[in-house]
């Protein structure tokens, strides 16, 4: 994951937005520092369940993500921002390279690491190294089937139908500050899928560096509560 672009001084922008709501004068700028603006935003917008999240929508953060297709689709269902994902209609060469051994299968397809896990209902289960090896074998088989179709002249958008959905996929995702916090609320909770929680931990690091005062209040008061940002 990498940060691609971001609004500079996002908490200052949120402050200007909230200040404009009640200021009599034109106020396109402020001499207040970024951290102080963040503190004011927390005090004026968020504390005491005021719920005035609107001014946080002016600042945006764009991240480059890489995850398995299923996890990327989970993020997209929230419809909170803009998504551009690597298209399997145009970018199937890595699949063919996995089929021929030019690329290791684990660089092209994802499998959950062996360990002890729980499903969303709290039921425990074990995922073993043998389970993971079976995943790799299934993935390789699907890659070979994909390549065979391509060799026959079948186009990518048709050939991809034989692929299992664990292939890695790249994306550029842009949310405003309110949207990122909303996504963290939904996808860091305990019953979220393990993979999406792992991805959200990386996202949270980016958000914390970007809007530290606002994030720290959110982390102390709303983390794991799955409350939608109003």
Average pLDDT in the 179-188 region? 93
Average pLDDT in the 125-152 region? 98
Band (70; pLDDT cuts 50, 70, 90):
very high
Average pLDDT in the 23-30 region? 94
DSSP 8-class letter at 153: T
Average pLDDT in the 85-98 region? 96
Domain boundaries, the chain: 2-63+176-221, 92-166
Characterize 78-93 residue by residue with b for buried, 16 or more Cβ atoms within 10 angstroms of its Cβ, and e for exposed. eebbebebbebeeebe
Instruction: Write the CB contacts of 91 (distance below 8 Å, at least 6 apart in sequence).
Output: 156
**pLDDT at res. 78:** 80
Average pLDDT in the 108-135 region? 96
Cα–Cα distances in Å, from 146 out to 98, 104, 142? 10, 16, 6
**pLDDT at res. 79:** 79
> What is the average pLDDT value for the chain, to the nearest integer?
94
Between 68-72, 130-134, 190-194, 204-208, the lowest mean confidence (pLDDT) is in 190-194
The per-residue pLDDT for range 184-221, each reduced to its tens digit, is: 999 998 888 999 999 999 999 999 999 999 999 999 99
């Amino acid at each position: 994951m990498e940060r691609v672009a971001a609004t500079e001084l996002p908490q200052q922008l949120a402050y200007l937005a909230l200040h404009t709501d009640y200021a009599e004068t034109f106020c396109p700028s402020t001499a207040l520092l970024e951290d102080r603006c963040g503190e004011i935003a927390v005090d004026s917008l968020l504390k005491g369940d005021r719920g005035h999240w609107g001014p946080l929508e002016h600042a945006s953060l764009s991240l480059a993500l890489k995850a398995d297709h299923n996890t990327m689709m989970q993020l997209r269902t929230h419809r909170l921002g803009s998504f551009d994902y690597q298209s399997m209609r145009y970018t199937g060469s890595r699949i063919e390279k996995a089929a021929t051994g030019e690329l290791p299968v684990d660089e092209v397809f994802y499998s959950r690491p062996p360990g002890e896990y729980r499903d969303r209902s709290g039921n425990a289960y074990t995922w073993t190294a043998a389970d993971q090896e079976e995943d790799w074998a299934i993935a390789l088989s699907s890659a070979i089937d994909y390549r065979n179709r391509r060799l026959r002249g079948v186009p990518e958008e048709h050939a991809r139908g034989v692929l299992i959905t664990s292939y890695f996929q790249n994306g550029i995702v842009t949310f405003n500050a309110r949207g990122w916090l909303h996504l963290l609320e939904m996808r860091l909770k305990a019953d979220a899928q393990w993979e999406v929680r792992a991805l959200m931990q990386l996202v949270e690091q980016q958000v914390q560096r970007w809007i530290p005062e606002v994030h720290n209040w959110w982390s102390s008061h709303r983390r794991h509560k799955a409350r939608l940002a109003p």
